[in-house]
Amino acid sequence: MRRIISILLENEPGALSRVIGLFSQRGYNIETLNVAPTEDLTLSRLTLTTTGDDKTMEQITKQLNKLVDVVKLVDLSEGAHIERDLMLIKVRASGAMRDEIKRTTDIFRGQIVDVGPNTYTIQLTGTGEKLDSFVAAMAEADILEVVRSGVAGISRGEKVLRL
Amino acid sequence: MELLSGGEMIAKALEDEGVEYIFGYPGGAVLHIYDALFKTCKVPHVLVRHEQAATHAADGYARATGKPGVVLVTSGPGATNAITGIATAYMDSIPMVVLSGQVATHLIGEDAFQETDMVGISRPIVKHSFMVRHAEDIPATIKKAFHIATTGRPGPVVIDIPKDCTRPDAKFEYHYPDNVKLRSYAPAQRGHTGQIRKAAKLLLSAKRPVIYAGGGVILGESSELLTTLARKLNYPVTNTLMGLGAYPATDRQFLGMLGMHGFYEANMAMHHSDVILAVGARFDDRVTNTVSRFCPGAKIIHIDIDPTSISKTVAADIPIVGPVQSVLEDLLEIIGSLQEKDSQQPDTGALGRWWQQIEEWRAKHGLWTGRRYGESDRIMPQQVIESLYRVTGGDAYVTSDVGQHQMFAAQYYKFDKPRRWINSGGLGTMGFGLPAAMGVKLAFPDMDVACVTGEGSIQMNIQELSTCKQYSTPIKIINLRNNYLGMVKQWQDMQYEGRYAMSTYEDSLPDFVKLVESYGHVGIQVTRLDELDQRMEEAFAMKDRLVFLDIFIDPMEHVYPMHVAPNGAMKDMWLSKNERT
């Protein structure tokens, strides 16, 4: 089952490698990974998506919590939450495809953020599923490049992950 | 406030931390530190002959004393040589602080001479690691390292120190902190009372209980509490390889070690139990045999300081996260009140039948109840351990290497006290025994310290005979010599139709007697059973000499019992070469 784990991590050199190393060392999957500083400069917020059965997930969260650099951790997928992935996708846009791509982008509420004589660069945010659907919808087009931020997530309502 | 250089701060911080020995080896990146040690430090330094031995010696010291071992090595090869010893300590949860030199900050990342990414290389085998970036951070970093290494589930901590942070001409105000607070590190202080109450009720309702106690009982200084609990309930106790000594081996309620080479009665009792109280043990694969067939009728109570140990391999019915000591105290109290107020008592009838069954198992195949090894005109390895036990009055510190000799020592030396049995259980590190024995002997110079080894293991760190000479550590080395890598040979006998693929040295072994004599020690060869006890006594009578007993044993002997694998349960064992359950 797919899970979204969000971590407050000490903003220290080597902290990220401990998290990543744990996953490879113990044979867990990481599907997406997103990390950046927070408003508190001593902390980074790391969001990762992974898959595993309940027993594996229990071990993953316990093992992560055991890392000295992990300050706090939450499994966002246990409750109501918002998840967003940002995608920048560059496609060949010429001839009849140019209009078609524009229409599809509008349907998905994406934005064309860079225009070249023969290319469009489209920005799209949403769940991973929505981005996957957009890529699928672009099957006819010539996709030149895809870059995704990985999932960032936050709980809905009053629930917060902070010190 | 004193003004000290980085190197001097390290020396002073180790003093202030109460360190008794530093095990190490100098080199370019740590020369400033060594100079500071030489000029000012009161902590004695033990110069080993290889950095791996520094870590094992510190580890042996830590296991015997309960205090953290301290290692100082240089960058590059000094650091990488220490890795095996750090991994050994990590697997067995041994408190250790390793200070490694690093090239100067401005050279990091440039493939400088003797540069290696120590924090990176050691990452999967440390509890935590630090890279010093500013000299003024040194005292607080050392304090944090000791705090993390010794609290919660103990383990090794690495501090990597670039050379420029220790230079003698840059001085800083030195203050060693009294305590340390880390917002992201707070090991459990108490177990959950509700869970402990549930555990108490389940324990009292048990009809076929077993207490399965591991190294955590020893690390958590809880042997007495465990013994009190077991005696109060009259429940049988088995220890893991790491837990030997946590419960007195000569006590009637002790079933012996469990697991792959565990006692018949211990493995049978586990398999047929209805309630298992696991204390400071981690259901290692060398204990459980096939997990899906592990103890099918048992409810499991699992006490451990480390939540990741609980339900990792075998699911716990009642998990209790907390220090073994406080949880056992609470458990004893709750059991006491349940017995008094609610007059809940153990089912003495069921318990009587359970003990009767256990005694039958013990009488049938118990290792200590009859001669369980073969007759031979050669010395049997088990007889050597029995002789060692007799001659030392069962009161020696025994270190071991890894292989058949380790299992024979674990099976036949009856450890009545914690911290007396010192072996690499988790990682299984050959070459551990001799340096570990050095560390133990330095901690307890008046005690008998024996290193039980084989000619394979001893040659992995035999250079430490020189260190033993320099620091006068008169340990006794008991070499069970069979001219094979015995445990490898045993598996080749059992699973590879006796094809001894690269498991013999043919005629290449040294004359160990001459070898140890060249280091200034005493060597004695023993080839006949009728001289075994006498030679053993002679060796231990030489209080101030290191004695190497090179004992020629029957090379064909196997370690039994042995779990049947793959797909075996706890109860499935080979009891001899042609007898199985």
Task: Say if B3-173 and B193-365 have the same CATH topology.
Answer: yes
Whether B387 contacts B559, CB under 8 Å? no
* Average pLDDT estimate for B280-292: 96
Using a CB cutoff of 8 Å and minimum separation of 24, what contacts does A14-19 make? Answer: A14/A69, A14/B119, A14/B123, A14/B129, A14/B131, A15/A44, A15/A69, A16/A44, A16/A46, A17/B120, A17/B123, A18/A67, A18/A69, A18/B123, A19/A46, A19/A48, A19/A64, A19/A67, A19/A69, A19/A70
Please state, rounded to an integer, the average pLDDT across all residues of chain A. Answer: 96
* Average pLDDT estimate for B207-211: 98
Q: Letter for the amino acid at B22? A: I
In this structure, the strands spanning B128-131 and B156-162 are parallel
- Inter-chain touch B308–A10, beta carbons under 8 Å: no
**Pairwise CA distance, residues B328 & B280, whole Å:** 11
More confident position, B422 or B372:
B422
- Considering only the beta carbons, identify the residue of B184, B308, B315 that sits closest to A68: B184
- Gyration radius of chain B over CA positions: 25
| Residue B263: other Cβ atoms inside 10 A | 25
| Shared-domain flag, residues A22 and A73 | yes
| Shared-domain flag, residues A101 and A43 | no
| Shared-domain flag, residues A6 and A74 | yes
CA atoms in the 13 A half-sphere facing the CB of B49: 17
Of A53, A110, A71, A119, give the one whose Cα is nearest residue A87: A110
Of A51, A21, A22, A16, give the one whose Cα is nearest residue A34: A16
Q: What does the domain layout of chain B look like in residue ranges?
A: 3-173, 193-365, 381-559
Domain membership of residue A99 (yes or no) is yes
Domain membership of residue A141 (yes or no) is yes
Asked if A12 has any chain B CB less than 8 Å from its own CB, the reply is no
Give me the pLDDT at residue B212, please.
Answer: 98
Q: Give the residue from B90, B125, B137, B184 with the most A CB atoms within 10 Å of its CB, the best one to mutate.
A: B184
| Shared-domain flag, residues A8 and A65 | yes
**Pairwise CA distance, residues B284 & B281, whole Å:** 8
Domain membership of residue A60 (yes or no) is yes
Whether B163 contacts B29, CB under 8 Å? yes
3-state SS string for A22-61: HHHHCCCCCCEEEEEECCCCCEEEEEEEEECCHHHHHHHH
| Residue B291: other Cβ atoms inside 10 A | 12
- Inter-chain touch B308–A59, beta carbons under 8 Å: yes
Tell me: pLDDT of B319 over 90.
Answer: yes
| Shared-domain flag, residues A63 and A35 | yes
Residue A148: burial class (beta carbons within 10 Å; 0-12, 13-18, 19+): middle
- Backbone torsions φ then ψ of B172, nearest 5 degrees: -140, 160
Task: Return the CATH fold of B381-559.
Answer: Rossmann fold (3.40.50)
| Shared-domain flag, residues A54 and A8 | yes
| Shared-domain flag, residues A68 and A123 | no
**A71 vs B contacts (CB less than 8 Å):** 183-184
**Pairwise CA distance, residues B562 & B564, whole Å:** 6
CA B463, B467, B470, B474 torsion: positive or negative? negative
Tell me: pLDDT of A64 over 80.
Answer: yes
Architecture of domain B193-365: 3-Layer(aba) Sandwich (3.40)
More confident position, B375 or B510:
B510
- Backbone torsions φ then ψ of B494, nearest 5 degrees: -85, -30
Q: How many beta-carbon pairs under 8 angstroms link A with B? A: 37
Q: How is residue A160 written in tokens?
A: 């917060």
Domain membership of residue A74 (yes or no) is yes
What's A31's domain CATH number? 3.30.70.260
- Inter-chain touch A14–B131, beta carbons under 8 Å: yes
Q: How far is CA B291 from the centre of its chain?
A: 24
**Pairwise CA distance, residues A133 & A139, whole Å:** 10
Domain membership of residue A163 (yes or no) is no
| Shared-domain flag, residues A75 and A14 | yes
Using a CB cutoff of 8 Å and minimum separation of 24, what contacts does B117-120 make? Answer: B118/B75, B118/B79, B118/B158, B118/B160, B119/A14, B119/B158, B119/B160, B120/A17
In this structure, the strands spanning A43-51 and A32-37 are antiparallel
Q: How is residue B22 written in tokens?
A: 């530093």
| Shared-domain flag, residues A7 and A38 | yes
- Inter-chain touch B306–A21, beta carbons under 8 Å: no
Query: For residue B548, what are the β-bridge partners?
Result: B477, B523
Tell me: pLDDT of B5 over 80.
Answer: yes
Q: Indicate the pLDDT class of residue B338, thresholds 50, 70 and 90.
A: very high
- Counting the structural domains of chain A, the total is 2
CA distances from B487 to B2, B408, B549, B576 (A): 56, 11, 20, 15
Asked if A70 has any chain B CB less than 8 Å from its own CB, the reply is yes
What region does A27 belong to: left with phi over 0, alpha with psi -120 to 50, or beta? left
Asked if A58 has any chain B CB less than 8 Å from its own CB, the reply is yes
- Inter-chain touch B308–A18, beta carbons under 8 Å: no
Asked if A21 has any chain B CB less than 8 Å from its own CB, the reply is yes
| Shared-domain flag, residues A59 and A107 | no
Active site residues of B: 51, 113-114, 163, 487
- Inter-chain touch B123–A21, beta carbons under 8 Å: yes
Asked if B3 has any chain A CB less than 8 Å from its own CB, the reply is no
**Residues of the domain holding A135:** 82-152
| Residue B53: other Cβ atoms inside 10 A | 28
Q: Which DSSP state fits B553?
A: B
**B128 vs A contacts (CB less than 8 Å):** 68
Give the pTM. 0.97
Domain membership of residue A71 (yes or no) is yes
Q: What is the pLDDT of residues B470-494, one digit of tens each?
A: 999 999 999 999 999 999 999 999 9
CA distances from B448 to B390, B400, B534 (A): 13, 14, 17
Q: Indicate the pLDDT class of residue B554, thresholds 50, 70 and 90.
A: very high
Q: What is the pLDDT of residues A137-161, one digit of tens each?
A: 999 999 999 999 999 999 999 999 9
Domain membership of residue A160 (yes or no) is no
Give me the pLDDT at residue B191, please.
Answer: 97
Where does a domain end: A79, A108, A137? A79
What's the CATH class of domain B3-173?
alpha beta
Tell me: pLDDT of B344 over 90.
Answer: no
Q: What is the pLDDT of residues B502-529, one digit of tens each?
A: 999 888 999 999 999 999 999 999 999 9
Return the exposure string of A66-83: e unless at least 16 CB atoms fall within 10 Å of the residue's CB, then b. Answer: bbbbbbebbebbeeebeb
- Inter-chain touch A25–B124, beta carbons under 8 Å: yes
Domain membership of residue A102 (yes or no) is yes
What's A107's domain CATH number? 3.30.70.1150
Please state, rounded to an integer, the average pLDDT across all residues of chain B. Answer: 96
Where does a domain end: A31, A51, A79? A79
Tell me: pLDDT of A34 over 90.
Answer: yes
Where does a domain end: A79, A105, A139? A79
Angle at B43 between CA B38 and CA B49, to 5 degrees: 75
